[in-house]
């Protein structure tokens, strides 16, 4: 059986980590074998790249370098974990994937969505998630929550206008990527999770039926 690949996307501080845990225990109860991952990072090489990318000291980093480092960390993650684990039938839950680069670098940094897509496609090996959940929450609300907790990394320290353009960017790319499902994330944890369960069950049924016939 081919595995399942679920991606959580959305502004910094939108509650992706909490939901990742809840999804994992829900699917574990259904017999799934879960592997968590996060971006940038998720592999030893990727975590080293993450330290370089998010280091507050790296103020001179060119936007193009930033985009290439994210793409490099992702290429390693696909090669080392995502592709082999999907082939083994595991269920992968990833906080962020290529969609983050399309909006943070393509739109936030103004490098162009197509340019960013192009440098990423090279490392993706054709891998596409089964479900992408976009956490729709006002970026200012989400970010304040995050900065209160951890002080903010290099990306989080960006001006609120940057985060706003990223948020609008998500709304823009959703039109071109039908695998992205929008979740109203300005509700209680329980309400958000109810909707996510519905989406997951719908997808599992679809996959089950296509394997059957
Ligand atoms: P992280 O602390 O993991 O943020 P979060 O918990 O909100 O996911 O830091 C990741 C930061 O990197 C976040 O600000 C989004 C940014 N990012 C990009 O700009 N491009 C990318 O391709 C990815 C994966 C993340």
Residue 119 has pLDDT above 60, yes or no: yes
Mean pLDDT taken over the chain = 94
Q: What kind of fold does domain 4-209 have according to CATH? A: Rossmann fold (3.40.50)
Residue 210 has pLDDT above 90, yes or no: no
Of 31-40, 90-99, 138-147, 193-202, the least confident: 138-147
**40 CB under 6 A from ligand 1?**
yes
Residue 1 has pLDDT above 70, yes or no: no
Atom of ligand 1 nearest to the CA of 70: 22
Residue 213 has pLDDT above 60, yes or no: no
Residue 155 has pLDDT above 80, yes or no: no
Q: Choose which residue among 41, 73, 100, 116 to substitute to test ligand 1 binding: the one with the highest number of ligand atoms within 8 A of its C-beta.
A: 100
**96 CB under 6 A from ligand 1?**
yes
**Is the Cβ–Cβ distance between 152 and 23 less than 8 Å?**
no
Contacts of 144 (CB under 8 A, 6+ apart): 13
What is the whole-number distance in angstroms between the Cα of residue 85 and the centre of ligand 1? Answer: 23
Task: Kindly list the domain boundaries of the chain, sorted by start residue.
Answer: 4-209
Instruction: Tell me the three state secondary structure of residue 79.
Output: helix
**Is the Cβ–Cβ distance between 162 and 108 less than 8 Å?**
yes
What are 147's two structure tokens? 């900065």
**9 CB under 6 A from ligand 1?**
no
Buried b / exposed e across 187-201, counting CB within 10 Å, b at 16+?
Answer: eeeeebbebbeeebe
Q: Which residue, judged by its Cα, is nearest atom 6 of ligand 1?
A: 12
Atom of ligand 1 nearest to the CA of 13: 7
What pLDDT sits at residue 212?
Answer: 59
**97 CB under 6 A from ligand 1?**
no
**165 CB under 6 A from ligand 1?**
no
Q: Which residue, judged by its Cα, is nearest atom 23 of ligand 1?
A: 100
What pLDDT sits at residue 153?
Answer: 83
**104 CB under 6 A from ligand 1?**
yes
Residue 147: pLDDT band (50, 70, 90) is confident
Contacts of 120 (CB under 8 A, 6+ apart): 71, 74, 98, 101, 102
Q: Choose which residue among 7, 10, 12, 41 to substitute to test ligand 1 binding: the one with the highest number of ligand atoms within 8 A of its C-beta.
A: 12
**158 CB under 6 A from ligand 1?**
no
Residue for token pair 């998720």? 42
Q: Which residue, judged by its Cα, is nearest atom 19 of ligand 1?
A: 104
Residue 49 has pLDDT above 60, yes or no: yes
């Amino acid at each position: 059986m081919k595995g399942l690949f679920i991606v959580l996307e959305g502004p910094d501080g939108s509650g992706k980590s909490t939901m990742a845990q809840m999804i994992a225990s829900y699917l574990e109860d259904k017999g799934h074998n879960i592997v968590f991952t996060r971006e940038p990072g998720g592999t030893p090489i990727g975590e080293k790249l993450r330290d370089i990318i998010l280091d507050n000291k790296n103020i001179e980093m060119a936007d193009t370098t930033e985009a290439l480092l994210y793409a490099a960390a992702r290429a390693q993650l696909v090669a080392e974990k995502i592709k082999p684990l999907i082939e083994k039938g595991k269920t992968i839950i990833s906080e962020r994937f290529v969609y983050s680069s399309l909006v943070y670098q393509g739109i936030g940094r103004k490098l162009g969505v197509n340019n960013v897509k192009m440098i990423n496609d090279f490392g993706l090996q054709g891998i596409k998630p089964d479900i992408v959940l976009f956490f729709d929450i006002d970026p200012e609300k989400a970010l304040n929550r995050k900065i209160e907790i951890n002080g903010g990394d290099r990306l989080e320290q960006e001006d609120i206008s940057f985060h706003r353009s990223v948020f609008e960017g998500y709304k823009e790319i959703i039109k071109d990527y039908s695998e992205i499902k929008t979740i109203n994330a300005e509700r209680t944890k329980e309400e958000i999770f109810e909707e996510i369960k519905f989406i997951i069950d719908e997808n599992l049924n679809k996959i089950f039926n296509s394997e059957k016939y």
